[in-house]
Amino acid sequence: DAKTTQPPSMDCAEGRAANLPCNHSTISGNEYVYWYRQIHSQGPQYIIHGLKNNETNEMASLIITEDRKSSTLILPHATLRDTAVYYCIVSGGSNYKLTFGKGTLLTVNP
Amino acid sequence: ETGVTQTPRHLVMGMTNKKSLKCEQHLGHNAMYWYKQSAKKPLELMFVYNFKEQTENNSVPSRFSPECPNSSHLFLHLHTLQPEDSALYLCASSQEGHSNQPQHFGDGTRLSIL
């Protein structure tokens, strides 16, 4: 199973872009990169996912390197409500399961 | 509002009690999941249902008994639980199981075993 590596914590100033990195050097060709976040006392919230092309939706952008060994989740204008634990997960092919690690605690500061 | 509703939000029960957790999804999905999130531990997948059929039991003790009467509803029946079963129990759904469709989670039931 491909695994991911994320920094345990990051800080970001309100209104600035938050760039959350993730390494997944053992990702297989048919595996997707998913991002979820979990705000305290709530369930995980799906943010975005991609295979090899960069993706953008109303919440965030996902930048995947050409070799697919790493990716970056970008929150373009972070707000205080974006403070949460962000999980980068690799899943796909025969492994459809979401295996949550410890994620990155993003703290958005005023 | 995620489209996945879990009740109750909080539950306190003794080790000899029987209770049930309920999950309902309004997304038209065909797969539903139960996860357990203990304090300071990652989410653990417990059960997967795809088109009402159980397709995954991740070595969960028999004191946890899932039920999926239709694609919109999922229950977790609890009986003779242990203190270490205190955790946040999360339900999720996706378009189909065993696929690359994203899962959508409810806000969970916070369970405390006395």
Q: pLDDT, tens digit, for every residue of B48-75?
A: 999 999 988 989 999 999 999 999 999 9
Tokens representing residue B70 in the block:
């239709």
Judge: A43–B2 Cβ closer than 8 Å, yes or no. yes
Rounded-to-integer distance, Cα A88 and Cα A92, Å: 13
Structural contact between residues B85 and B113, judged by C-beta atoms closer than 8 angstroms: yes
Judge: A46–B97 Cβ closer than 8 Å, yes or no. no
Judge: B45–A45 Cβ closer than 8 Å, yes or no. no
b/e B49-70 (16+ beta carbons within 10 angstroms → b): bbebeeebeeebeeebebebee
Query: What DSSP element (H or E) covers B11?
Result: strand B10-13
Is the CB of B39 inside 8 Å of chain A's CB atoms? no
Is the CB of A102 inside 8 Å of chain B's CB atoms? yes
Which of B2, B103, B107 comes nearest A98 by C-beta? B103
* pLDDT band per the 50, 70, 90 thresholds, residue A49: very high
Query: How many angstroms separate the Cα of B1 from the Cα of each of A92, B37, B56, B62, B68?
Result: 26, 20, 27, 32, 22
Residues of chain B with pLDDT under 70: 98
